Amino acid sequence: MPSLARLTRLPVLALTYAVLRASAVWGLHPATFPDSAGYLHLDLSSPIARTWPVPLLYSLVRPDALRVGMHVILGVLAWTWLARVLARSSRFPAVVMVATFVVGLTPQVIRYDLTILSESIAVTLGVAMVAATMNVAATGTTRTATQWVLVMAVFSMVRPQHMIVLFAAAGIVVARSAGKRAFPGALGIMILGASVIGFWQFRANRPTGELNLYTVVTERVMNDDARFAWFVAHGMPDVPGMRQAQSYDYVEQVPPELLTYLQLPAGQAPPALIRVGGMQFAQWVRHHGWSTYARYVLTHPSDTKARILDLASPTLDPVNDDFLPLDSRTIVPRWLFAPWKLCLAISAAGAVFAVLTGRLRRAGMLTSMVLSTAIIYCAAMLTSGIEHPRHASMVAVLFRVCALAGAAELVRRDVNADATSSVPPAG
């Protein structure tokens, strides 16, 4: 009989994780949705329907069954990396690794493996982002810093909201270089170069951005008298009948000139507001819509806060996992996906403990991950008018991953102690 020590080594646990995760989707049909069509075309010129990482991967891996397999493989690699990094300096490496893999098997993590959408890859890259961040905090080497920059750049471009991380990193590079009156180093140049590409992708993603604004206005503005009056007072056209346009049209119902002007992403059903609002409203959406909405969000903090808090429980602690009709198998109980408030508390405890024990860099990295995740969540909920649970899926997972990182800090051994671990250095 193999010993417990052998069974809890990283390769054995990783292989077990891979088999279990693959078993959740093995033999099942991939699931496609209206949004799926936009990810099957890699656009390298403006306008673009979807930012490049997912369309690039989907253009390289075909058909859909192989794309599902790719989701599983990438997920296994990311969660294995995370388990390795978190367990490296722990007093209980086996416990940390098992806990990491168990969270990585919860339905909330693996349910999107079956879908031809961005969520599975977004979750995987988010997990890799945490692993890279904690790795560079532990080592501080040029190699791990380069890994972090590369992972961060790709993660940031999966969805427009993620680019907050990239632009923040670029801002830090510029500020530090200006403070030192020195040209950025190689890593700084990489971040600035990635931010330029990201900004171009963000600006070119106009069709999806305009469609999202239509859904936000339909959900938030047309149903509220006070908001509607404010937007009209600040330039939004008051077209007769648009407050009653709450449904979706068939593409054939929309005038061709509007379809040509808006260039909707492939496969998307147009909100009825597009047809009813006409060209006058479409021009406002393009030239003034997002700036007006941003002004409202910033000048109405109470309403903005209420929006975010009202969506927190339904999206971060969803009652069920049937938002999309997915048929993936359940491997571990969904209750192992701990409540998000508990996860924040564990993350905070880990950061405080790291400060008290003199590990300021690790505390800073953990705190920055939690704050970045929270900011991405706020941006996603404020810029989405539909499908909030799906748009929050990556954030929901990252809150649990940050909790794992916080818990790992609480059981971290002294790096100089004469302790042994089955986990090799993660550098």
- DSSP letters of 235-257? T----TTGGG--SB--GGGS-HH
Which of these ranges, 142-156, 274-288, 352-366, has the smallest mean pLDDT?
352-366
Q: How confident is the model at residue 324, as a pLDDT?
A: 63
Together in a domain, 276 and 315? no
Contact present, 123 and 109 (Cβ < 8 Å):
yes
Together in a domain, 110 and 30? yes
Closest CA to 351 of 424, 308, 275, 408: 408
> Is 336 inside any structural domain?
yes
Contact present, 393 and 125 (Cβ < 8 Å):
no
DSSP-derived letter for residue 90 is: B
- Mean pLDDT to the nearest integer, 128-150: 92
Q: How confident is the model at residue 379, as a pLDDT?
A: 95
Range of the domain at 269: 213-287
Q: Most distant CA pair in the chain: distance in Å? A: 77
Res. 323 pLDDT band, cuts 50 70 90: low
> Is 180 inside any structural domain?
no
Together in a domain, 28 and 105? yes
Q: How confident is the model at residue 227, as a pLDDT?
A: 96
Model pTM above 0.85: yes
pLDDT, tens digit (0-9, with 9 covering 90-100), for 53-78 = 999 999 999 899 999 999 999 999 99
> Is 168 inside any structural domain?
no
> Is 261 inside any structural domain?
yes
> Is 22 inside any structural domain?
yes
Together in a domain, 20 and 137? yes
Together in a domain, 278 and 343? no
pLDDT at 415 over 70: no
> Is 189 inside any structural domain?
no
Together in a domain, 279 and 320? no
pLDDT at 424 over 50: no
Together in a domain, 80 and 137? yes
> Is 120 inside any structural domain?
yes
Together in a domain, 272 and 332? no
Together in a domain, 109 and 240? no
Domain count, the chain: 2
Together in a domain, 132 and 10? yes
State how far the Cα of 24 lies from the Cα of 48, in Å rounded to an integer: 33
Res. 421 pLDDT band, cuts 50 70 90: very low
Together in a domain, 263 and 133? no
> Is 377 inside any structural domain?
yes
Helix (H) or strand (E) segment spanning residue 86: helix 64-87
Together in a domain, 27 and 96? yes
